[in-house]
Amino acid sequence: MTKVAFASDHAGYGLKNFLKEYIKEKGFEPVDFGTDSEESCDYPDYAHPAATAVESGECEFGIAMCGTGNGIAMTLNKHQGIRAALCWAPELAELAKQHNNANILVLPARFVSKEEAIKIVDAYLDSKFEGGRHERRIAKIPVAGCGCK
């Protein structure tokens, strides 16, 4: 079964649990890297292990959230093999897959409803990377691939 890495802080905890159930119904296996309660915590503690699981291939892709989505996306994107995309509308999730081959979908938990979150996740799951010119561009995202000295 395809494994999906999940990570959130306290602000995303409720939405994470909801989406773990949804993803199970879609035939995926959620792997939860925390947090495991609504007690205030620090999102990097959960983002880094989830990013490592996606980078290593243990998980095929990831879904992550914090209040705004910004802090957890910033943390995930410190990993050179991660392309985490903050998406608050289905069209953004679609393009994040089509153009950026995003391997972690990030949601702003305090700014999307559960119904909106499902539409965003569906848009991400139902889209395919288009390759071509986008392949060349995403190859330049890692620091080692940018040609800078």
Task: Out of 55, 62, 68, 86, name the contact with ligand RB5 by CB under 6 A.
Answer: 68
- Residue 114 one-letter amino acid: K
Q: Which stretch binds ligand RB5 (CB under 6 A): 29-37, 67-75, 97-105, 138-146?
A: 67-75
Q: Which active-site residues does the annotation give?
A: 66, 99
Angle ∠(22,26,28) on CA atoms, nearest 5? 95
Q: Contact between 67 and ligand RB5 (CB under 6 A)?
A: yes
CA dist., res. 32 & res. 28, Å (int): 12
- The one segment of 20-28, 60-68, 91-99, 130-138 that binds ligand RB5 by CB under 6 A: 60-68
**Cα–Cα–Cα angle for 31, 35, 40, nearest 5°?**
170
Rounded to a whole number of angstroms, the minimum distance from the CB of residue 42 to ligand RB5 is 9
